[in-house]
Amino acid sequence: MILKRRKFLSHLTGLALYSVAQSLHARVTPPQSLGPFYPLKIPLDSNADLTFVEGSDGVATGDVANLFGRVMDSNGVVIPNAQIEIWQCDAFGAYHHPHAGGGIDPFFQGYGATTSDAQGRYRFRTIKPVTYPGRAPHIHMKITAGARKLVTQIYVRGEPANDRDFLLGAIKNSEARNSLIIPFERNSSGASDELDAVFNPVLKA
């Protein structure tokens, strides 16, 4: 487990450059609500690997997914040193929040944070989000870059519940709405059973 964790952290530092469309007028990522389950208190273990809780002897249930991308502004300029936070329910549809029962999976971290590097890149290791009553599968994301902030949600391409999700449907512009819906796909190299999901958030310049 320790070697696996070290390998993941090492991979963070050696993350390859990913192609990002840096048009001069990139569309700003549409904001969404913070939701009721943002942590009341940031957990002690809040790094970028949500599939393992420090001090535990198990791993999270669910399909492991590598969520990564690059943070930039609407002028196409990458944003280094942005604080990026994500949180989501576990594979059983429960958030690790006192108002949601505290979660079901003790091996899922539920919340993670990282900082974009000099090229604006970030990476999380988590699970593919699952549905729970009233909502399509989603991952919450909050980005803080100086005075600029963005809170949004990330959805799964091809998920039927997307068409019934009231928050996603509230975004009337189809291009803006679709920018939040991304594929979770098997790594093309076939090196592992993990999924890859690329999300490139755009903040207002």
Domain CATH number, residue 75: 2.60.130.10
Task: Say what the pTM is.
Answer: 0.87
Q: Of the candidates 89, 88, 72, 91, which has an alpha carbon nearest to the alpha carbon of residue 80? A: 72
pLDDT at 128 over 90: yes
Q: Which of 147, 69, 102 is nearest to 111 (CA)?
A: 102
Rounded CA gap, 151 and 142, in Å?
4
- Predicted confidence at residue 13, as pLDDT, reads 39
Give the three-state DSSP class for 84.
strand
* Cα 182 from chain centroid (whole Å): 11
Task: Check pLDDT > 80 for residue 6.
Answer: no
Confidence at 25, pLDDT banded by 50, 70, 90: low
Does pLDDT of 111 surpass 90?
Answer: yes
Report whether 44 contacts 50 (CB < 8 A): no
Q: What is the pLDDT of residue 198?
A: 97
Tracing tokens 């310049």 back to the chain, one arrives at 205
Cα separation, 195 vs 137, in Å, equals: 15
Tokens at 89, concatenated: 């329910």
User: How many domains are contained in the chain?
Assistant: 1
Q: How large is the average pLDDT for residues 52-74?
A: 94
Q: What is the DSSP letter of 121?
A: E
Which of 13-17, 34-38, 111-115, 200-204 has the lowest average pLDDT? Answer: 13-17
Name the token pair of 65.
């997914």
What domain range is 101 assigned to? Answer: 2-203
Alpha helices (H) along the chain: 2-13, 166-169, 174-178
Write the CA distances from 3 to 7, 10, 188, integer angstroms.
6, 10, 24
